[in-house]
Structure formats: structure tokens, C-alpha cells
Structure 1
Amino acid sequence: MSQEFAARPVLPDPASAPELFDGLLTRRVAAYLIDLVLMGVIVVVLSVVGAVLGFFTFGLAWVSLIFVVPASIVLYYAATLGSHRRATVGMQAMDIVLTPTRGQPLDGWMAILHALVFWVTVWISWPVSLLFALFTPRRQMIHDLVVGTLMVRRSPMTRHWQRMRAGDQYGV
């Protein structure tokens, strides 16, 4: 793979690689629901631990309970999206992966930024964010465009990038 290709990757086109975007919005919603359940379990467990610790610390640990929900969400996304798999548990179950579009690496900070902008746009107006994805060719939501990411199906993605690298080697 050439240095130029690595610095300026070609984004997949839905017309030439429709398998990457097949059922993507449905998969994203299902992945979100799975992740919501998992984050809920994490929040409940941490809340119970904080409540019990509150009795031993004469109520001091109860003050920390206001940070349980935001900390759980941030840590969940940083640990899953920021990993080498670039997907949360729900995204892995739904065979989708997050990829950067601006030639920068997808690390923990970008994963946290992606999650933060996602939660802000969903909090402000989730129907607009979902409708926005219906009218973009790559099914990107508002937070994907702002942060510079693209969600695609994982299994066909590997084959797509191998074809792109082979085409780049032969000057196509």
C-alpha cells in the first residue's frame, strides 16, 4: 500500500459497494439498543456499589453517584470504539464498524468525541438525526459528518478494502 493511499483513503461508494451499506440504519438502531442495555447494566452495578460504599463512608460516596451515568457512558465508548475492533458490543453483534474518513486514526479520544456528539445530537433532536441519515448516500448521521467518521458493515468491508488496495497497486 502506498503512502499516498494511506494518507488519503478513498471512501466506499454505495453505488459500487452496496453490500457495505445494506441494512445499515436498521443495524445501527439495533446496535444502539443492545449498547443501551449494556450501559444500563453497568450503571446499575456501579450505582449499587456506590450506594453500599456510601454507608461505609458516611454518605461521602453517595456524592459520586451523580458521575456514574456520564462516566459509564464515556468509559464504555472509549473502551469499545477506541479499541482495535472500532465497534461497541452492539455494533459487533450487528456486524458494523466505525471508520475514520479524514485520514486520522480512530483512537479513544475520537471515539469519545464521536459518542459525545452523538449523545448531544440525539438529545437535541433524534428524529432529525435519523432522517438526516436517510438522505445521505453513505447513511451518515449528523454526528458522523461532524466528527468525520463512517459506519459500514464489517464483513464486506475487509473485501472492499482489499479490492481497493489491489486496484491501487495496479494504478487503477
Structure 2
Amino acid sequence: MATDFLGRMLRHDLPNPNTSPELFDGILTRRVMAFLIDCVIMGAAILIVTLVAGILGIFTFGLTWLSIPLIVPLTFVVYYAVTLGSASRATLGMRATDIVLTPTRETTLDGWMAMIHVVLFWISCSILTPFIVLIGLFTPRRQLLHDLVLGTMMVRRSPMVRHWQTYARAGDAAQ
């Protein structure tokens, strides 16, 4: 079994970019497009929640206006935790661009991991932008810095389903 750069065990059934290039085809472009779609969705959500808080502030004598600085970070964290932490392991933008988040280590991907993923993403974005995409050009599975740290990768959903089905059939035949 292989290990990652921190010495942790990688899953034995990870797709290899050399034997399954269709899983990683255009993945960085798809990630950027998914990010832009998600920004539009979150922007609309932030606008609606801010307007509601502003209107409620009139009736609560300004009390709900105190929540306005928390709206943006909470919207980002909740959106990613609910979508990435779901069974589909994809945000709405990722679903539209046919990509999915997959763990590379022997761990599950849940809401907590999704929240940590988004926090690390935004920290690395704020420090290294636009260099986070450049990191993906030099990793075989097109992983970005936060993917490497957390043990995740993005792959195309439709070819991935075929990959796991082929892998499961090969495992059944070996038994």
C-alpha cells in the first residue's frame, strides 16, 4: 500500500492517472468553472440573507444587524458542509461540471471534513492565489495544496462510476 507525503496510508483502489486519464481530463478547468458557479450561488444566498437581516433589523431595533458580518463566512462553510458532506460529495457547481470530491486515504468524507476542506481552501486561496491552481499542474492527480493536506482529490463523476464498477468486478473475480 502506498503512502502520501505525510506518511499516511493511501487507499489501494485509487485511480491511476496513467491508466485512467479520463478521470482527470480537464479537471482543473472544471474546478475553476465549478468554483465560479458556486460563487454565483453563494452570492445570491448571501444577498438574500443580508436583505432579510437588514429588514429584520428594523423590527429588532438593529439587533439582527449585528449578525451581518457573520453571514459571508457562515454561508460559505454551511454551503460546502451541506453539499460536499452529502452523499453526492459535490457542490452544485461541481455537479454541473461533472466532478466529485474523493478521499485518498482510508477515511470517510463527512460534513466535518467538508468544512475543513473549505476553510483550508479559502486560507490557501487568500495566501497563494492564483498559485493554488499551479500546484495542480505538477501533481499526477491534479490535486491542489488543500487536497494534498486533507487527503482528497477531485475526479470526473461519470468516468469514476465506471472505474469503481470495473474495480468492484475485478475484486469479485479475484475472490
TM-score, normalised to structure 2's length?
0.91
1:66-81 equivalence runs, <5 A? 66-81=69-84
Aligned with residue 41 of structure 2, among 38, 42, 63 = 38
Structure 2: gaps of 5 or more residues: 1-9
In the aligned structure 2, how far is the partner of 1:91 from the partner of 1:8?
23
Q: Report the CA distance between 1:38 and its aligned residue.
A: 0.4
Residue 157 of structure 1, aligned match among 147, 157, 160: 160
**Residue of structure 1 in register with 2:149 after alignment:** 146
Q: Higher helix fraction: Structure 1 or Structure 2? A: 1
Q: How many Å separate the matches in 1 of 2:11 and 2:79?
A: 30
Q: Paired residue for 1:4?
A: none
> Does residue 12 of the first structure (1) align with residue 15 of the second (2)?
yes
Contact 1:9 1:103 in 2 (8 A): no
Distance in 2, matches of 1:47 and 1:164, equals 47
Tell me, in whole angstroms, the C-alpha distance in 2 between the residues paired with 1:102 and 1:8: 5
Classify the secondary structure of the residue corresponding to 2:174. coil
CA distance in 1, matches of 2:62, 2:165: 57
Match of 1:109 in 2: 112
User: Tell me, what secondary structure is at the counterpart of 2:130?
Assistant: helix
Compute the displacement of 1:128 (Å): 1.9
1:24-51, Cα deviation, whole Å (9 max, x unpaired): 1110000000000000000000000000
- 2:136 is aligned with 1:133: yes
Structure 1 residues 14 and 8 mapped into 2: Cα distance closer, same or farther (>3 Å)? Answer: closer
The whole-number CA distance in structure 1 between the counterparts of 2:138 and 2:49 is 39
The Cα RMSD (Å) is 1.4
* Structure 1 unmatched runs, 5+: 1-6
- C-alpha distance in structure 2 between counterparts of 1:43 and 1:9, whole Å: 41
C-alpha separation between the residues in 1 aligned to 2:108 and 2:65?
38
Moved beyond 6 Å, runs of 4+: none
Q: Give the TM-score taking structure 1 as reference length.
A: 0.93
- Secondary structure of 2:25's partner? coil
3-state DSSP class of the match of 2:129? helix
2-side partners of 1:157 and 1:131: how far apart? 24
**What secondary structure is seen at the aligned counterpart in 2 of 1:32?**
helix
